[in-house]
Structure 1
Amino acid sequence: MDLDTMDPSENAGKGPPLLEGEDEEGLNVVGLISIIVFYIAVLLVGIWAGWRQRKIVKNEGRTQDQEEVMLAGRNIGLFVGILTMGATWVGGGFINGSAEVAYSSGLVWVQAPFGFGLSLFISGTFFARKMRESRYVTMIDPFTQKYGKWGALQAFPSAICEIFWSAAILGALGSTLQVILKIDTVTSIIISAAIAVLYTLMGGLVSVAYTDVFQIIFIAFGLALSLPFAATSEFVSSKHLEEGADYRGALPSHLVGEWIDYAFLLLLGGIPWQCYFQRVLSSKTSTRAQMLSYGGGLIALVMAVPATLFGVVAKATDWERTAFGHAPSGDENKLVLPLCLQYLCPPWVTFFGLGAVSAAVMSSTDSSMLSASSMLARNVYKTIFRPKASEKEILIVLWCCIVINAFIATTMAIKYQSVYSLFVLCGDLVYVVVFPQLLLVLYFEASNTYGSVVSFFLSFVLRILCGDTLLDIKPVISFGTIYGENEGEEGPVPFRTIVMLISLVVHMGLSYGAHWLHIHGGIVQSSSRHLMGEESIGMDEYARENQKRPPTYNPAYDNKTFYE
């Protein structure tokens, strides 16, 4: 269709011209079929994986317990493990967000995919082996092991972030399908969430892992197939870039602090997520746990390239010549990748491309729902409310949590437009609050509830007081301002990283100080039992046992870790 030679009078009062594959009501039939085919395929794979796992467990005479459902019996193979790790990271926000930022801000600001990819290498090197060798079931286990009931409360910020993440990507999928396929937003969100919940209930992590394998292969195939067609479209020209549409972006001096802050947030804030540790802890050995991390990180880095290049292609597109009619701007920026699939690719390519977008969303949604529910069932319900609960009872609670969390995420995705902003703030809180807590509970033997409680709430309050532009929270405090070369140019210092470091220092200082005062001065006499519950061991007992235990003692291997 030659848009330049069309007579406007021919379409007067008829709206924009129909694209190939659209019906009279504007419904994209090809895209709709692709979504239906993909959803059916994912559901069948998930049901088959759950049925297969139950059959294996029955034939081997085993029973369904927490490890079977949450960690697939710690028997995830290397190939499946690497692909499910990669699929969990390469979600809807990953590929859509990479294209959006490359288009709106330039390549220099495309930090998230590469930062999160590299964070898997850091996690694999410093956290995967230690967690797997300790045979933990969730990321919160070392907290409950060391701090008792206070440690269980650490599950709440992590679980909330997982739920907000599910809501954010479900909302993004609903907006995408509504704009591109003309499908009702509510319908698409509910169906997507229902399918993810159904196969997750059928097989737990096994179903999630096998559907992840299917999804990551589909994502890779869809993006690799559609990118060349989009880049060679008649509407795309490098001359458009030369005429001022700079795809490289700029990093002015007053924004250097913000860039550094986000870099550390992505590298370190990408570590304390249950969806990551769920895969690490499901591996057969600690060495394999590291290999899953490195393999998943490599997949994330590789998949970041085509996703980012879609943003460059969109920047080089003369959108006024397309049926879309104008260059995406404002809220439309987040639709850059699906818009490229819709208007720059043939219908049959769009079929696979939109399937890839949906695959990316569902590969993150199911993981987040299972991760949040695992922490709430095991670390909150069992540790705080029902310490003597049976395995069957915990599994029932797990299934209930999955349904409830899915309902909450779906409702938020439908009702609230600022879910993504809330998720971004939660990501900040994971970095400034949860990361230092996880680092010290594993690597600082003297850490205790005195340091943990104070640093937890201090870092939370400081982060809120620093404000948030997305949620329109005005800053109450400031750690400084970076001024640019021109008048009026100013930006923040890396305040998130500063708050995180303050949390680390306070946690270590108070923990060590309380220990020293108790051992040498006898000032801190009370145990931490008033914070953690009757099952916790106080400082008095820790002091006695600390003199007995051999130098090679590692608290990570003791189910009754001292200095709780």
Structure 2
Amino acid sequence: MVLNIPGVVAMAVFYLLVLGTGLWAARKSRAMEKKSTGDKTEITLLGDRNIGLLVGIFTMTATWVGGGFIVGIAEVVYNPNLGLVWAFMPLQSSVSFIIGGIFFAKPMREKKYVTMMDPFQIKYGRVVSGALVLPALVMDALWVACTLVGLGGTMSVILDLPYSYSVGISAVVAIIYTLLGGLYSVAYTDVIQLILIFFSLWLCVPFLMVNPVVGDITQTAFNHTYQAPWLGAMEKGKVFKWVDDFLLVALGSLSFQCFHQRTLSASSSFNAQVTCFAAAAMVLILGIPSVLVGAVAASTDWNLTSYGSPSPYERNETGLVLPIALQHLAPPYVSVIGIGAIAAAVMSSVDSGLLSSASMFSSNIYKNIIRKQVSNGYGAVAGYLVGGLMRLLCGEPIFNLPPVLHFPGCTLEDGVYVQRSPIRTICMLLALAAILGFSWLAQLMFNKVWLPERWDVFQVKFQTLPLGGAREMKEKEEDGTVSEQMLDTTKC
């Protein structure tokens, strides 16, 4: 295979369009900064809390519809061992947006927080909240890496470009406009990228489905034609794992700063909620083309294609099934359009991850290291340790980490122990119990003077409650012992 010159030219045009949009938005951000009397940090990280409803919906949706989203859904649907029943990322994201819109968007926007860690900083203080930021930073880094790998694999198949070139160019372009324009650049480039994602994916699907080597996907959904039905099946022993995996993203997505960055940057608390609910619908729609691509791949007689036999699954190339389908089942110009959709999806997530990490690091770590202050954090530390320790003891096959604790249903498969119980949910609940239990115990023991006051390193009895990056400051109670409720959801 030789370098696809027309495809490379088309991608160059796309990158220039995105970079130009980002630079234009950066100029808009600079002009806004000169006119605004607000905090410069809020202008950079939150767009001066003036992002309109339409742009907010676009940037919220585009952040979640990344390369891993598009390529991953097609992979799972095509995989004979999984199928559509396991491709629940669109539904997970939609549920997450709805929960966030109901319980978090309005109260957090009204309190004018800068990052999602500000409520924790109020409750537990700067040191503990700074420690809690570290897992979020690692999560953002892994998310960005996963997204870039999705693009690298696609370009290597269709354009015959090495991973390093496509990953490097995409990362550099995203860094440039994110660094120069902050959230304004990220939001306005997301508009361009989401439009390209929507039209490109839906344009590619019909070409794939009418290819003569592709069977009727309504038949292959239930019948074993070329492989197992692409709808998949829910085995009795994997029900708890399905629930565990679903909750991992449906609830875990609420711990992404990029989600809260969109709601906190909205021009009003009402717009923040509407943004969540609208994005919940859009993410479902944008997941459909990838499902159809996976179904088409599962319904294809690969022996009759230029790809040949054996199938992508048998060659252990399941993760590349979307670009392989575009390359071998669609005309060349259509495959290039599909590449544009994936590139747009990747950059819309990469820039969000970069800005998310920068927000938390600057607001909750950098400032906290300079201005340290201890506060009530016994429960937070206990939850941190209990949750982390339990997750290690449960094992993780991806890291070849064997389980020490064998929960009900744990079985030995091919010499490896596999947990069938919802271990992630169990660890989360144990961590939550530790937070509540140790917080109550610490308050009780120090307020009742059952332990000497000199042992109270987090100053449960005498604490100030700084808000950090947010504007409001919590007034100390007269006795200096009561801490503020993290979120008031009674008005949601």
In 1, distance between residues paired with 2:33 and 2:455? 42
Is 1:94 matched up with 2:69? yes
Partners of 1:255 and 1:490 within 8 A in 2: no
Residue type at the aligned position of 1:523: W
Residue type at the aligned position of 1:518: F
Q: % of aligned pairs identical?
A: 39
1:82-130, Cα deviation, whole Å (9 max, x unpaired):
0000000111111110000000021111122211221111111111112
Residue type at the aligned position of 1:84: T
In 2, distance between residues paired with 1:233 and 1:528? 73
Query: 2:473 maps to what in 1?
Result: none
After TM superposition, the structure 1 stretch with the greater mean CA deviation from structure 2, 103-112 or 489-498, is 489-498
In 2, distance between residues paired with 1:135 and 1:232? 51
1:375-405, Cα deviation, whole Å (9 max, x unpaired):
11111011112579xxxxxxxxxxxxxxxxx
Q: Which runs of 5+ in 1 are unaligned?
A: 1-24, 389-446, 558-564
Residue type at the aligned position of 1:475: P
In 2, distance between residues paired with 1:277 and 1:527? 38
Which runs of structure 2 are paired with 1:162-173 in the superposition (5 Å)? Answer: 162-173=140-151
Partners of 2:154 and 2:339 within 8 A in 1: no
Cα-Cα RMSD: 2.8
Residue type at the aligned position of 2:327: Q
In 2, distance between residues paired with 1:219 and 1:93? 13
Match of 1:259 among 242, 253, 265: 242
Match of 2:439 among 511, 514, 517: 511
Change (3 A) 1:528 1:522: closer
Residue type at the aligned position of 1:87: A
TM-superposed CA distance for 1:176, in Å, is 2.0
Match of 1:282 among 247, 265, 276: 265
In 2, distance between residues paired with 1:273 and 1:528? 35
In 1, distance between residues paired with 2:292 and 2:271? 32
Partners of 1:255 and 1:482 within 8 A in 2: no
Query: 2:369 maps to what in 1?
Result: 384
Query: 1:321 maps to what in 2?
Result: 304
TM-superposed CA distance for 1:268, in Å, is 0.7
1:116-145, Cα deviation, whole Å (9 max, x unpaired):
221111111111112111111011111222
Residue type at the aligned position of 2:312: P
Is 1:523 matched up with 2:444? no
TM-superposed CA distance for 1:514, in Å, is 2.0
Is 1:370 matched up with 2:318? no
Query: 2:233 maps to what in 1?
Result: 250
Query: 2:17 maps to what in 1?
Result: 41
TM-superposed CA distance for 1:536, in Å, is 4.4
Which runs of structure 2 are paired with 1:156-195 in the superposition (5 Å)? Answer: 156-195=134-173
TM-superposed CA distance for 1:312, in Å, is 0.4
Change (3 A) 1:150 1:343: same
Residue type at the aligned position of 1:328: P
Change (3 A) 1:470 1:120: same
Which runs of structure 2 are paired with 1:129-278 in the superposition (5 Å)? Answer: 129-148=106-125, 149-238=127-216, 241=220, 242-244=223-225, 245=227, 246-278=229-261
Match of 1:127 among 97, 101, 104: 104
- Choose between structure 1 and 2 for higher RCO, CA contacts under 8 A separated by at least 6 residues: 2
2:434 alignment partner, SS class = helix
In 1, distance between residues paired with 2:187 and 2:304? 43
Partners of 2:106 and 2:269 within 8 A in 1: yes
Partners of 1:200 and 1:207 within 8 A in 2: yes
Partners of 1:34 and 1:354 within 8 A in 2: no
In 1, distance between residues paired with 2:174 and 2:261? 17
2:54 alignment partner, SS class = helix
Change (3 A) 1:263 1:63: closer
Change (3 A) 1:214 1:524: farther
Partners of 2:120 and 2:486 within 8 A in 1: no
TM-superposed CA distance for 1:513, in Å, is 2.2
Which runs of structure 2 are paired with 1:438-449 in the superposition (5 Å)? Answer: 448-449=376-377
1:37 alignment partner, SS class = helix
TM-score norm. by structure 2 comes to 0.88
After TM superposition, the structure 1 stretch with the greater mean CA deviation from structure 2, 369-378 or 237-246, is 237-246
In 2, distance between residues paired with 1:529 and 1:365? 42
Change (3 A) 1:518 1:319: same
In 2, distance between residues paired with 1:283 and 1:274? 14
Q: Which runs of 5+ in 2 are unaligned?
A: 466-475
1:446-483, Cα deviation, whole Å (9 max, x unpaired):
x9411110111110111011111122111111222168
Query: 2:331 maps to what in 1?
Result: 346
1:259 alignment partner, SS class = helix
1:204 alignment partner, SS class = helix
Residue type at the aligned position of 1:234: P
Partners of 1:119 and 1:267 within 8 A in 2: yes
Change (3 A) 1:478 1:355: same
In 1, distance between residues paired with 2:363 and 2:204? 43
Match of 1:456 among 375, 384, 398: 384
Partners of 1:481 and 1:492 within 8 A in 2: yes
Residue type at the aligned position of 1:323: S
Match of 1:291 among 247, 251, 274: 274
TM-superposed CA distance for 1:63, in Å, is 7.0
